[in-house]
Amino acid sequence: MNTFKQKTDFIREIIRNDLKENDGGQYKIHTRFPPEPNGYLHIGHAKAICLNFGLAREFGGLCNLRFDDTNPTKEEMEYVNSIKQDIKWLGFDWEGREYYASDYFEKLYGFALALIKKGKAYVCDLSGQQIREYRGTLTIPGKNSPYRERPIEENLMLFEEMKNGKYPDGAKVLRAKIDMKSPNLNMRDPVMYRILHKKHHRTSGKWCIYPTYDWAHGQSDSIEGITHSICTLEFENHRPLYDWFLNELEIHHPRQIEFARLNLTYTVMSKRILLELVKSKIVKGWDDPRLPTISGMRRRGYSPTSIRNFCAEVGIAKADSTVAIEFLEHFVREDLNKKAPRRMAVINPLKLIIDNYPDNIVEELEAVNNPEDLSAGTRKIPFSKILYIEKDDFMQEPPPKFFRLAPGREVRLRYAYFVKCNEIIKDRDGNITEIHCSYDPLTKGGDAPDGRKVKATLHWVSAGHAVSFEARIYEKLFKNENPYQVQEVGELKDNLNPDSLSIIENCMGEPSLSSVEPGHVYQFERLGYFCVDPGCSNDSIIFNRTATLKDEWAKIQKSQ
Ligand code: ATP
Ligand code: MG
């Protein structure tokens, strides 16, 4: 599993110091990954997963999985299950420590009572709109709520009534009593509970008041004994609030550390926008291979190793930045190049007939499964008189730099023979339907005994033995390099790449592709990596193109 060397970073330095300071004791670091089950995980979450679970593994600690399920209107079991599946697939294990913020609703309620009793929280009747107005702005200080000085006894009574369902949604909230003039807006008497008569996916109808994320998050970490609460930068100015709650409650105080989110070019990671793409059927579900979701990347053929290697190499920083999508693809190719068995397949078949090859003979030629891994062995592929080659590999009138097949020209067929094109057959519309060649029997295996050379080697399949399949070719979902900066869904739609998916039917593959397993990735020689789609059946095989063979990252690096 630890196939890569983890670089160090400021979080690892902090942890090393904390371990040193606690040297000799029972001290163990304890982290957690805290997703909100309101969508599927994406590559940004993968970074947080690799970090939190990775730290626990590296430093001999523990990492919990905790669902931050404080919002019953957006959360579903489908998301809980997909999140668990994705974390496991990435290669991490919470070892049974699967927790839910909703498990702590009772405790949190008790904590809230404690704050009310200390005079540090109050029930407020202002509407949401009024609360926003009273809060002020960065330049205008906030105003105290008229309900701020309610006596403790009244607060206790009203809060209990809120809990017992006496009031409709929005009628009252519980707020922390901190400082309406604080320069930090998060400290201006933030809301801790709101009334929501809504069933929760776990607690069902038990509660009609729900804690806000800000109120639940830090206390949940504390309850679990988390030592290092690692979160993304946008929570930096929530930290004083989390500190305030923990100090007032006098409970275990985890250390919060913020790091920069992962942003990728051409990629949107906001769950709100991903959900919109799914709901409006712009993509075919959360696992559409064009999405940066973990399930989408899995379906596309990205390996867990490549995603982990990518996250390790991107590293952890304190300042926001955007990583080129080609960098991720580089790790996908690097891993697949080592592991993916090679096969021959033709995406746009053109019939090639070898006129001087015997009619009824089939030769079994030996092909290497993976030149990067000779232990993968060899296989036999049938060769016969009628073959398919790639349409693009033939041109009737080739321009100067086209070295593949053309009238009168000789090329090599991979693992087979030299063939020379003698004749072209066209249909009534002028489309080329067949090309006729002759082969040189002395070139078997791909070399001419007289030393003559050819400038191209083509892939092919034997027509009588070929397996037909559907190929789905994916391009970027967005045209804009920075779609993550777009906040409006409408704006995003203008940015969609109309060619992000092409479906090509009647592709032809070598016979070994007749029995394939969903999720397996092959390298189709000269074409790219292709992954067997889970939607396959025995008589309909579908391949998703994982990546082309060209490493665009190398090009970007050179140009920098
Ligand atoms: P939303 O899209 O609703 O703002 P979120 O991206 O914060 O949600 P959560 O489910 O709350 O999603 O995220 C779980 C954890 O993953 C959090 O700790 C969060 O910091 C981390 N995380 C989310 N997105 C990224 C990202 N792009 N890069 C790194 N970590 C991320
Ligand atoms: Mg979040």
**Per-residue pLDDT reduced to its tens digit, 242-267:** 999 999 999 999 999 999 999 999 99
Identify which ligand lies nearest to the alpha carbon of 43.
1
* Residue 40 and residue 86 in contact, taking contact as beta carbons nearer than 8 Å: yes
Instruction: Compute, in angstroms, the gap from residue 524 CA to the centroid of ligand 2.
Output: 40
Q: How does strand 501-509 pair with strand 542-547?
A: unpaired
Tokens 């999720």 found at: 519
Residue 34 C-alpha to ligand 2 middle, in angstroms? 8
- CA atoms within a 13 Å half-sphere pointing along the CA-CB vector of 15: 26
Ligand nearest to the Cα of 487, by number: 1
- Told to judge if 261 belongs to the known catalytic residues of this protein, a careful annotator would answer yes
Whole-number Å distance, alpha carbon 458 to ligand 1 midpoint, is: 46
- Convert the pLDDT of each residue in 254-305 to its tens digit: 999 999 999 999 999 999 999 999 999 999 999 999 999 999 999 999 999 9
Return the DSSP state at 152.
H
* Count of C-beta atoms within a 10 Å radius of residue 400: 5
Concerning whether 380 is annotated as a catalytic residue, the answer is no
How much is the pLDDT for 67? 97
CA dist 193 → 33, 264, 270 (Å): 24, 35, 25
**CB neighbour class for 355 (10 Å; exposed up to 12, middle 13-18, buried from 19):** exposed
> Does residue 1 carry a pLDDT above 60?
no
Taking the centre of ligand 1 as the mean of its atom positions, its distance from the CA of residue 393, in whole angstroms, is 46
Q: In a 10 Å sphere around its CB, with 0-12 CB exposed, 13-18 middle and 19+ buried, how is residue 158 labelled?
A: buried
pLDDT above 90: percentage of residues in the chain: 91
Choice among 261, 339, 351, 414 that is catalytic: 261
Say yes or no: CB of residue 262 within 6 Å of ligand 1. Answer: yes
Could you read off the pLDDT of 129-139 as tens digits, one per residue? Answer: 999 999 999 99
Specify the pLDDT at position 278. Answer: 96
Residue at token pair 């899995």: 298
Token duo for residue 74 = 């957006």
pLDDT digits 0-9 by tens, 483-519: 767 767 777 788 899 999 999 999 999 999 998 999 9
Give the pLDDT confidence of 358-405 residue by residue, as tens digits. 999 999 999 999 999 999 999 999 999 999 999 999 999 999 999 999
Q: Cα–Cα distances in Å, from 210 out to 117, 199, 217, 242, 259? A: 20, 11, 13, 18, 28
Q: Is the pLDDT of residue 2 over 50?
A: no
pLDDT(4) > 60: no
What are the residues whose beta carbons fall under 8 Å from the beta carbon of 151, sequence distance 6 or more? none
pLDDT-derived band at 559 (thresholds 50, 70, 90) equals confident
Catalytic one of 36, 76, 434, 552 = 36
pLDDT of 207: 98
Mean of pLDDT values over 314-321:
92
Q: Percent of the chain beyond pLDDT 70? A: 98
Region 451-474 average pLDDT: 97
**Contact assessment for residue 81 and residue 48, using Cβ atoms and an 8 Å cutoff:** no
DSSP tag of 375: G
* Domains assigned to the chain: 10-259 (3.40.50.620), 264-341+469-559 (2.40.240.10), 351-370+382-449 (2.40.240.10)
Binding site membership of 496 for ligand 1 (Cβ less than 6 Å): no
Q: Is the CB of 45 within 6 Å of ligand 1? A: yes
Q: For residue 501, what are the CA distances in angstroms to 328, 390, 525, 526?
A: 20, 20, 21, 20
271 among known catalytic residues? yes
Distance 380 CA to ligand 2 centre (A): 52
Mutate to test the pocket of ligand 1, among 9, 31, 36, 234 (most ligand atoms within 8 A of CB): 36
CA neighbor of 436 nearest in space, from 519, 347, 352, 520: 352
Q: pLDDT tens-digit profile of 74-102?
A: 878 999 999 999 999 999 999 999 999 99
Inter-axis angle of helices 213-223 and 239-249, to 10 degrees? 60
Q: What is the pLDDT of residue 428?
A: 96
What pLDDT digit, counting tens, does each position of 437-458 carry?
A: 999 999 999 899 999 999 999 9
For residues 175 and 245, the answer to whether their CB atoms sit within 8 Å is: no
**Residue 3: is its pLDDT beyond 70?**
no
Ligand 1 contact, 271 CB (< 6 A): yes
Q: What is the mean pLDDT of residues 193-211?
A: 96
Q: What is the pTM of this model?
A: 0.95
User: Distances from the Cα of 419 to the Cαs of 43, 172, 267, 444, in angstroms?
Assistant: 47, 83, 45, 11
Residue whose Cα lies nearest atom 25 of ligand 1: it is 44
Instruction: Give me the chain's average pLDDT, please.
Output: 95
Quick one: how far is CA 10 from the chain centroid? 25
Distance CA 255, CA 233 (A): 14
User: What confidence score (pLDDT) does residue 321 get?
Assistant: 86
